[in-house]
């Protein structure tokens, strides 16, 4: 059994049998433990805390990590950030304690055992009086250490390091080093955080597009330098703008091939900058290389202006401007069903190019075959005339039928008999009939495409 | 009979205006008697006889034929910015526009489309760009024309509006022609430096697309009807 704050004032304690608790406080509300729902709530909270920092993660069953490095100024300082964060959680009905420290380990300790009146840990020395449980050691280890007379972090610090390691195992020293920042502690954020990230805060909030563009230009120059050093090119970049009122907006661009050319990347952003609404002003901006890829010397040749090799650049510009999945190459797909024989692929140079089987194809295939009224003189003959979109077409030339059977795994689909017909105007159409004459259900005619 | 001096002057004016095939980039001949060819690095307009999107098979075919020819002439890929449904890729391949030579875009907002057309027209990486549009104001078309001139990219506009696009170097009307597949009646409604006859056309031809040789051929029975004598052509 667990017990919240008000319950504990009635003498209830975590771990107490339920019967005993009900005897002590008959009015207590009892809810069954639902770890899955708790987990989901914690995940939602972690997302929500993205307002305070782009880097958030959950910790254990009831903790949240936030890396707020460089975020404090957005909220009027780190104290205000903690106040706002804590107040927000409280307004959601969640008891919480927040602390800020230079390392995750120290923050963990300070949030649970530190001084709630001073939630920011300024000096590592302040950890010394805290109990050893603050080091995230197992209860058993804490008990063992207590049996040896060690109760506080400071006492552990006073011991020679080799002796600690030797007597209590590597874990104790490891947790101590994590708290002190000697040992790095990698924690993964719920949102992937780009290893290549640059940011810039402004003294005065800005709202002019030109100023934002200039800031972006500088960030790109810095980011690209770092990418070049690492032999990488960007595939996706997020440009995040932090507004004065604590909200943010984001512009994302993608490239077809890795690039570390600041000029090219800036052009991809340029036309999107006009869409930014600065609100009361932009206080800080951040640029993340969300996806990167090794960029070989050969690929970087594409960046050069020579040889008309700037097709990848053009495709990037067009893709970003027209919107996702609006620019493509149309590749053969092995299907004899007309509407399935084309596959849409990203516009970069196709790696595999097959061929469509020889034959006559309509130049325009309707996305949905259009039902038409058709007059056929005898079964299995092309229609003499048909009406489509309110216009009557007199057929003067016809070819067919070509039977296209459905793919066998589409059990209820019917076969189609296709005809190529030409009307008196020289318009050429692709019609098909579904069903047969002489059946209870009359056959249906459709127009599926137009020929050149 | 125009004097040599006048011809020189005409060439200079044409060069200033960026029209004609006079040393401004190669010309793609179409094999049409009385018509020199499609000037590259310029704007050309194709107008379907029926403006409705689904009836324009002939205009789409002629557009694909021109685009495929330009890809072959320049040895570079092309862009097709489609509106109202994509062209059917297997048919495009028959015009020399396989996936390795053609990038297809789906038109979005009009503003973004104009931007995309201009961006493509500016890029020497392309041989040509085809845009399906519904009219275009003079300023936008002029910008597109200048972009094409600067880069050598040929811009084809398949225009589904009745109003002509002013700065186009040529304007074609395409009708289907009955009797055989891939047969069209081409009407050259406008050609810089040439004046239309009393019927409003500069030239009219009945053509057939030869999918094997990948070129246009005249339909044998009809022949051609050049509206202007050869001597008056722009040199």
Give A61-75 pLDDT, tens digit per residue. Answer: 888 988 888 777 767
Please judge whether B181 and A362 are an interchain contact, meaning their C-beta atoms are less than 8 angstroms apart. Answer: no
The interface residues of chain B toward chain A in range 8-47, judged by CB-CB distance below 8 A, are: none
Please judge whether A356 and B100 are an interchain contact, meaning their C-beta atoms are less than 8 angstroms apart. Answer: no
Contacts of B94 in chain A (CB under 8 A): 361
Average pLDDT value for chain A: 84
Q: Which residue has the higher pLDDT, A434 or B235?
A: A434
User: What is the distance in angstroms between the Cα of A342 and the nearest Cα belonging to chain B?
Assistant: 7
> Which range has the worst mean pLDDT, A241-250, A418-427, B224-233?
B224-233
Q: Which residue has the higher pLDDT, A348 or B91?
A: B91
Please judge whether A318 and B116 are an interchain contact, meaning their C-beta atoms are less than 8 angstroms apart. Answer: yes
d(CA A176, CA A182): 8
Contact A327, B28 (CB under 8 A): no
Please judge whether A364 and B56 are an interchain contact, meaning their C-beta atoms are less than 8 angstroms apart. Answer: yes
If you write DSSP's letter for every residue of A209-245 in order, what string do you get? HHHHHHHHHHHHHHHHHHHHHTTEEEEEEEEEEEETT
% helix, strand, coil for chain B, step of 5: 30, 30, 45
Contacts 24+ apart (CB under 8 A), B109-115: B112/A321, B112/A322, B112/A323, B113/A322, B113/B81, B113/B83, B114/B140, B114/B144, B115/A271, B115/A321
**Mean pLDDT, to the nearest integer, of A303-316?**
65
Cross-strand partners of B187? B173, B204
Contacts of A366 in chain B (CB under 8 A): 54, 85
**Smallest Cβ distance to A326: which of B108, B123, B179?**
B108
Cross-strand partners of A429? A421, A450
Q: What is the pLDDT of residue B90?
A: 95
d(CA A387, CA A211): 60
User: What is the distance in angstroms between the Cα of B205 and the nearest Cα belonging to chain A?
Assistant: 15
**Mean pLDDT, to the nearest integer, of A162-184?**
84
- Give percent above pLDDT 70 in chain A: 93
d(CA A395, CA A397): 6
**Smallest Cβ distance to B116: which of A321, A347, A362?**
A321
Which residue of chain B comes nearest to A391, CA vs CA? Answer: B55
- Token pair listed for B78: 């092309």
Number of domains in chain B: 1
Q: Is pLDDT above 90 for B59?
A: yes
Q: What is the pLDDT of residue A107?
A: 92
**Smallest Cβ distance to B85: which of A356, A364, A426?**
A364
Please judge whether B87 and A364 are an interchain contact, meaning their C-beta atoms are less than 8 angstroms apart. Answer: yes
Contact B202, B227 (CB under 8 A): yes
Q: Is pLDDT above 80 for A39?
A: yes
Q: What is the pLDDT of residue B23?
A: 43
d(CA A209, CA A272): 11
> What is the residue extent of each domain of chain A?
1-32, 34-98, 103-193, 196-321, 364-450
The interface residues of chain B toward chain A in range 189-208, judged by CB-CB distance below 8 A, are: none
**Mean pLDDT, to the nearest integer, of B181-195?**
91
Q: Is pLDDT above 50 for B22?
A: no
Confidence of residue A166 (pLDDT cuts 50, 70, 90): confident
Q: What is the pLDDT of residue B229?
A: 41
Contacts of A452 in chain B (CB under 8 A): 57-58, 60-62, 64, 91, 181-182, 184, 209
Record: fold of A196-321 = Dna Ligase; domain 1 (3.30.1490)
Q: Collapsing DSSP states into helix, strand and coil, what is residue A247?
A: coil
Q: What is the pLDDT of residue B230?
A: 41
Contacts of A360 in chain B (CB under 8 A): 181
Q: What is the pLDDT of residue A328?
A: 93
Q: What is the pLDDT of residue B2?
A: 55
* Confidence (pTM): 0.64
Q: Which of A238-247, A275-284, A351-360, B201-210 has the highest mean pLDDT?
A: B201-210
Please judge whether A426 and B177 are an interchain contact, meaning their C-beta atoms are less than 8 angstroms apart. Answer: yes
pLDDT tens digits, A252-302 = 888 888 889 999 999 889 878 888 888 888 888 889 888 888 876 444 434
Q: Any chain A CB within 8 A of the CB of B110?
A: no
Domain harbouring B155, CATH code: 3.40.50.300
Confidence of residue A51 (pLDDT cuts 50, 70, 90): low
d(CA A417, CA B179): 23
Q: Is pLDDT above 80 for A116?
A: yes
Q: Which residue has the higher pLDDT, A222 or B109?
A: A222
Strands A327-332 and A342-345: antiparallel
Q: What is the pLDDT of residue A266?
A: 93
> Which range has the worst mean pLDDT, A76-85, A213-222, A328-337, B63-72?
A76-85
Mutation choice for A interface testing from B67, B88, B160, B179 by most A CBs within 10 A: B88
Please judge whether B181 and A367 are an interchain contact, meaning their C-beta atoms are less than 8 angstroms apart. Answer: no
**Mean pLDDT, to the nearest integer, of A299-308?**
42
Contacts of A424 in chain B (CB under 8 A): 178
Cα B216 from chain centroid? Answer: 14
C-alpha distance across the termini of chain B, in Å: 13
d(CA A206, CA A220): 18
User: What is the distance in angstroms between the Cα of B159 and the nearest Cα belonging to chain A?
Assistant: 16
- Token pair listed for A259: 């690039």
d(CA A251, CA A247): 14
Which residue of chain A comes nearest to B65, CA vs CA? Answer: A452
Q: Which residue has the higher pLDDT, A117 or B1?
A: A117
Q: Cβ contacts of residue A316 below 8 Å, gap of 6+?
A: A253, A254, A255, A256, A257, A259, A264, A268
Cross-strand partners of A433? A417, A445
Mutation choice for B interface testing from A319, A362, A364, A425 by most B CBs within 10 A: A364
ipTM of this predicted structure: 0.84
Q: What is the pLDDT of residue B174?
A: 94
Please judge whether A347 and B56 are an interchain contact, meaning their C-beta atoms are less than 8 angstroms apart. Answer: no
**CATH classification of A103-193 is 1.10.150.20, yes or no?**
yes
**Mean pLDDT, to the nearest integer, of B171-183?**
92
Q: List phi, psi (to 5°) of A421.
A: -125, 155
Q: What is the pLDDT of residue A445?
A: 93
**Smallest Cβ distance to A361: which of B76, B91, B103?**
B91
d(CA B178, CA B202): 23
- Per the structure, the complete domain to which residue B147 belongs is given by 4-232
pLDDT tens digits, A150-159 = 888 988 888 8
Q: Any chain A CB within 8 A of the CB of B209?
A: yes
Which residue of chain B comes nearest to A423, CA vs CA? Answer: B178
d(CA A24, CA A13): 11
Q: Collapsing DSSP states into helix, strand and coil, what is residue A254?
A: strand
> Which range has the worst mean pLDDT, A193-197, A413-417, B150-154, B201-205?
A193-197
Element (H, E) at A297: helix A297-301
Q: Collapsing DSSP states into helix, strand and coil, what is residue A408?
A: coil
**Mean pLDDT, to the nearest integer, of A331-356?**
85
pLDDT tens digits, B91-144 = 999 999 999 999 999 988 888 888 899 999 999 999 999 999 999 999 999 999
Contacts of A404 in chain B (CB under 8 A): none
Please judge whether A423 and B178 are an interchain contact, meaning their C-beta atoms are less than 8 angstroms apart. Answer: yes
User: What is the distance in angstroms between the Cα of B19 and the nearest Cα belonging to chain A?
Assistant: 24
d(CA A127, CA A156): 11
Buried b (16+ CB within 10 A) or exposed e, A352-387: eeeebeeebbbbbbbeebeebebebeeeeebbeebe
Strands A55-59 and A63-67: antiparallel
Helix ranges, A136-195 (H): 139-147, 153-158, 161-168, 170-180
């Amino acid at each position: 059994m667990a017990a919240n704050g008000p319950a504990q004032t009635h003498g209830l304690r975590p771990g107490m049998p339920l019967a005993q608790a009900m005897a002590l406080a008959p009015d207590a509300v009892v809810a069954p433990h639902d770890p899955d729902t708790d987990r989901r709530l914690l995940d939602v909270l972690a997302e929500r805390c993205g307002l305070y920092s782009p880097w958030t993660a959950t910790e254990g069953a009831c903790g949240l990590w936030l890396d707020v490095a460089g975020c404090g100024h957005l909220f009027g300082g780190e104290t205000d950030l903690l106040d706002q964060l804590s107040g927000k959680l409280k307004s959601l009905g969640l008891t919480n304690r927040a602390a800020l420290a230079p390392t995750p380990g120290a923050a963990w300790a300070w949030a649970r055992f530190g001084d709630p009146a001073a939630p920011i840990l300024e000096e590592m020395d302040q950890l010394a009086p805290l109990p050893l449980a603050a080091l995230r050691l197992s209860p058993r280890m804490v008990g063992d250490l207590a049996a040896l007379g060690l109760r506080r972090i400071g006492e552990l610090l006073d011991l020679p390091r080799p002796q600690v390691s030797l007597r209590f195992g590597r874990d104790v020293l490891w947790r101590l080093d994590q708290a002190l920042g000697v040992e790095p502690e990698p924690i993964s954020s719920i949102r992937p955080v780009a290893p290549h990230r640059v940011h810039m805060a402004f003294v005065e909030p800005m709202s002019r597009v030109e100023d934002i563009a200039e800031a972006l230009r500088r960030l790109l120059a810095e980011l690209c330098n770092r990418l070049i050093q690492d032999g990488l090119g960007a595939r996706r970049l997020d440009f995040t703008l932090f507004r004065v009122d604590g909200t943010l907006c984001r512009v994302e661009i993608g490239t077809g091939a890795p690039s570390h050319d600041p000029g090219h990347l800036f052009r991809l952003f340029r036309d999107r900058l006009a869409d930014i609404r600065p609100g009361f002003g932009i206080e800080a901006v951040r640029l993340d290389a969300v996806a990167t890829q090794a960029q070989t010397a050969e690929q970087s040749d594409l960046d050069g202006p020579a040889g008309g090799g700037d097709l990848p650049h053009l495709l990037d510009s067009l893709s970003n401007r027209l919107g996702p999945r609006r620019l493509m190459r149309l590749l053969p797909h092995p299907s004899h069903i007309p509407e399935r024989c084309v596959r849409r692929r990203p516009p970069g140079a196709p790696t595999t190019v097959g061929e469509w089987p020889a034959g006559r194809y309509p130049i325009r295939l309707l996305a949905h075959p259009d039902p038409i009224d058709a007059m056929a003189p005898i079964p299995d003959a092309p229609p003499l005339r048909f009406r489509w979109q309110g216009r009557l077409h007199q057929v003067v030339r016809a070819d067919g039928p070509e039977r296209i059977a459905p793919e066998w795994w589409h059990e209820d689909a019917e076969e189609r008999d296709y005809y190529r017909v030409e009307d008196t105007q020289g318009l050429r159409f692709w019609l098909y009939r579904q069903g047969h004459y002489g059946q209870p259900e009359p056959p249906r005619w459709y127009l599926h495409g137009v020929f050149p | 009979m125009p004097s040599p001096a006048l011809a020189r002057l005409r060439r200079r004016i044409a060069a200033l205006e960026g029209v004609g095939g006079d040393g401004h980039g190669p010309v793609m001949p179409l094999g049409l008697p009385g018509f020199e060819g499609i000037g590259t690095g310029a704007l050309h307009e194709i107008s379907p006889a029926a403006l409705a999107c689904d009836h324009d098979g002939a205009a789409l075919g002629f557009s694909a034929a021109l685009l495929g020819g330009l890809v072959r002439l320049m040895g570079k890929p092309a862009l097709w910015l489609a509106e109202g449904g994509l062209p059917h890729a297997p048919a495009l391949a028959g015009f020399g526009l396989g996936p390795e030579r053609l990038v297809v875009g789906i038109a979005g907002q009009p503003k973004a489309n104009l931007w995309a057309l201009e961006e493509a027209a500016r890029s020497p990486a392309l041989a040509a760009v085809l845009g399906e549009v519904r009219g275009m104001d003079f300023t936008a078309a002029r910008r597109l024309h200048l972009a094409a001139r600067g880069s050598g990219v040929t811009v084809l506009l398949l225009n589904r509006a009745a109003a002509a696009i002013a700065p186009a170097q040529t304007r074609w009307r395409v009708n289907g022609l009955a009797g055989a597949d891939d047969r069209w009646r081409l009407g050259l409604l406008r050609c810089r430096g040439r004046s239309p006859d009393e019927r409003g056309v500069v030239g009219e031809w009945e053509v057939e697309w030869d999918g094997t040789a990948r070129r246009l051929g005249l339909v044998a029975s009809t022949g051609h009807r050049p509206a202007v004598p050869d001597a008056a052509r722009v040199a």
